[in-house]
Amino acid sequence: MVRGDLPISDLLRIDFVDISDLAQTSGEWLRGGGPESDIVISSRIRLARNLAEYPFVNQAGPIERHEIENTLKDAISGISGNKLEYFSVDEFSPLDRQFLVERQLISREHAESEGARGVAIDPSERVSLMVNEEDHLRIQVMHSGLDLESAWKEISRIDDEIEKQVTYAFDDRLGYLTACPTNAGTGLRVSVMLHLPAVALTEQVEKIFRSLQKISVAVRGLYGEGSQPAGDFYQISNQITLGRDETNLIDTVADVVPTIIEYERKAREYLQEEKKEVLHDRISRAYGILRNAQTITSEETMHYLSRVRMGINMGLIKDLRIPTVNELFIYTQPAHLQKLSGSEMNSANRNIERARYLREHLDGSGSDNGGSTGGSGNGGSLA
Amino acid sequence: MKCQYCDRTATLHITELVDGKATELHLCKEHAQEYLTQADAGGTPSIGAPSALSQHLTVGNTEEDLKRLDQKVCPVCGISFYEFRNSGRLGCPNDYECFQQELEGLLLNIHGETKHVGKRPSSGAPDLSSHTQVIQMRRQLTEAVSEENYELASQLRDEIRDLQAAFRRQRSGGGQDEGADAGQ
C-alpha cells in the first residue's frame, strides 16, 4: 500500500513526462508481500534478446539505433496482457535516470550510456523492458518475495508476444544470440534478492557464498553487477545461460534459496538465544539513530535500516511495518530524495534532507505505521 | 566448473571489480596462484573478461596464430576478432558464425556446454544469413553515401527495403511470403 503522506504522484512526475499510471502505486516488490518475504525481497527474471537484422547495440550507428528502438517500441505496444508505457531514456535528465536505477527499472549501464534508448514500464513496476541496453531488448519481470515460477510464466508470455512481431537473432545450435557470449543460449538471468542481516552479523556470508559459487550461482549487491552488498541485501543468480533449459536454470537458483533462508533463520535464532541483549541493543540503537540523526549518509541509512528491518521481523520493533522500511531503503537513495524534495542537492544537503525525511517517517506519530504502539524517545520502542 | 585457462577444475572463484565493472574468474589452484602473485606485486592482474579470453586463446596457439586470429574480420558488421577480444562484446549475430571456432572454447569455458536447450521461437529458427545480409548492406550503403556513389546507394536502399518487406511477409504469413501479400 502507498502511504498517504508520501507525494508519490510528484515523485514519479519525471520532468516533461507525467507517468501518471505509475504514480498510483510504488513498486510491487517493495510492498513486502509474497512467500518468505521477511527474507526474500524479490524474484527477478530477465531475458536478453536481439533483432536478427541489426548489428548488436555497440556496433549500431545512430540511424540503426533509432530503427531498433522504433521496431521494438511498436512490438511492445502490441503486447496485450500488460499496460506498458514507453519512455525515451535519452531525453531524461541525469537525475531522472538515476531515479529509475534506484527504482530497479533500468540498469546503471542503461542510465549512463548514450544514444537512442528507452524503457517500457507497467504501472505495478513489475515489468520493465529496456531497449538498446547491451542487447536490443532486455525484458525484466520482478515479483515480490520468492515467486520465480509465476515470474517466469509472465516473462515468457511477454517474450512470446514480442516474438510474434519481430525476428529474434536465434540460432538452432546456440539459441538466442547476445552481444556478450556469457548470455547466449537462453539469455536468461534469474536473480533472487535476499536480506541476510543475521547471516552477516554472524559472519557466515563468505562461507555460504563460496559454496554457492561451486554450483555456478553468483552473488551480487542490491544494484546488481559490481555493486556492494549495502544494507545486507544480496542477489543470487545463475551464471550459466547455455546448455540447460530455463526451468532447469530457474531451479538451480530456486533450489539454493531455502538453504540460505534456513541459514538466516538459524542465525536469527542463535542471536536471539545467545546474544539477546547485544542484539536488542544494536537494533534499538539503529532505530534511535534513524529517528534522531540530523545528518546521515546513504550507507549509514542502509546499515541501520537493515537492523531495524531485522528487528521488525524478529518481533523486537512493533510500531513499524516492513513495507515502510522497504520503501525507506529506496526513498532515501540520492535521486529519490531529490525528486521528493523537488530540488537538486549536493551531498551534504542530501544528508541533512535524508535525516529529516527519516525523522518524519519514523516518528511514532507518523500516519504510516498502522497498529503503532506510539513508540517515542531516543531508543525506539522495543518488545 | 573448469578453470578458464586450462582443463583442471576451478577451485577459486573471484569477482573482480575494475572501474565499477564486475568480472568473474574461475581458476584452478595453479592459475589462482599466478593471479594472486600478480595482485600482490601491486600490478593489475592481467586477467579480466577480455584478457581472460586472450589468455585462453594463447593455449595451443603461437604468436603468429594469434595475430592471424586477431585480424579475422566479420564481413557483416566489420569488427575484428581483436576488437572483440578487447571489448568482450560481439558486433552482430553473424559473429557467432564467423568466429565460431574461436568462440567454441570460450563458450565451453563459460557455460560448460555449447548446445542450446530450452525455449525456441514458435516459428522456428530464422534464416539468419538472409537477415544479417541486411546488416552488411546497410554498411555498404553508408560507405556508398560517403563516397558520393548515389547510384549504388539508391540501389542498396531499394534492396534493403525489399528484403525487409519480405521478412515482414514471412512473419505475418508464417513463411508463405508470396501468398501473404497477394491481397494487399
Mapped to the 3 state alphabet, what secondary structure does A93-139 carry?
CHHHHHHHHHCCCCCHHHHHCCCCCEEEECCCCCEEEEECCCCCEEE
Locate cell 515468457: which residue? A156
**Cell numbers linked to A258:** 531455502
Does residue A159 belong to the interface with chain B, where contact is any CB pair within 8 Å? yes
Provide the pLDDT for residue A223: 61
Q: Is A135 in contact with A48 (CB distance < 8 Å)?
A: yes
Element (H, E) at B69: helix B63-71
pLDDT for A288-343, tens place per residue? 999 999 999 999 999 999 999 999 999 999 999 888 899 899 889 999 999 888 88
Contacts of A242 in chain B (CB under 8 A): 107, 110-111, 113-116
pLDDT for A53-88, tens place per residue? 999 999 999 999 999 999 999 999 999 888 899 999
Tell whether the model's pLDDT for residue A26 goes beyond 90.
no
Selection from A352, A49, A44, A88 nearest residue A223 by Cα: A44
Does residue A211 belong to the interface with chain B, where contact is any CB pair within 8 Å? no
Provide the pLDDT for residue A312: 94
Tell whether the model's pLDDT for residue A261 goes beyond 90.
yes
Query: Do B93 and A177 count as a contact with CB atoms less than 8 A apart?
Result: yes
Locate cell 536468461: which residue? A188
Provide the pLDDT for residue B170: 84
Tell whether the model's pLDDT for residue A367 goes beyond 80.
no
Q: Quote the pTM value.
A: 0.81
The letter for the amino acid at A85 is E
3-state secondary structure of A242: coil
Query: Do A240 and B107 count as a contact with CB atoms less than 8 A apart?
Result: no
Q: Output phi, psi for B73, to 5 deg.
A: -120, 135
Q: Is A213 in contact with B13 (CB distance < 8 Å)?
A: yes
Provide the pLDDT for residue B60: 54
pLDDT for A101-153, tens place per residue? 988 899 999 999 999 999 999 888 899 999 999 999 999 999 988 999 999 99
Beta partners for A46?
A140, A189
Does residue B164 belong to the interface with chain A, where contact is any CB pair within 8 Å? yes
Residue B115 to residues A234, A243, B107, Cα–Cα distance (Å):
31, 5, 10
Distance between CA atoms of residues A267 and A272, nearest Å: 9
Q: What is the mean pLDDT of residues B26-35?
A: 68
Query: Do A244 and B22 count as a contact with CB atoms less than 8 A apart?
Result: no
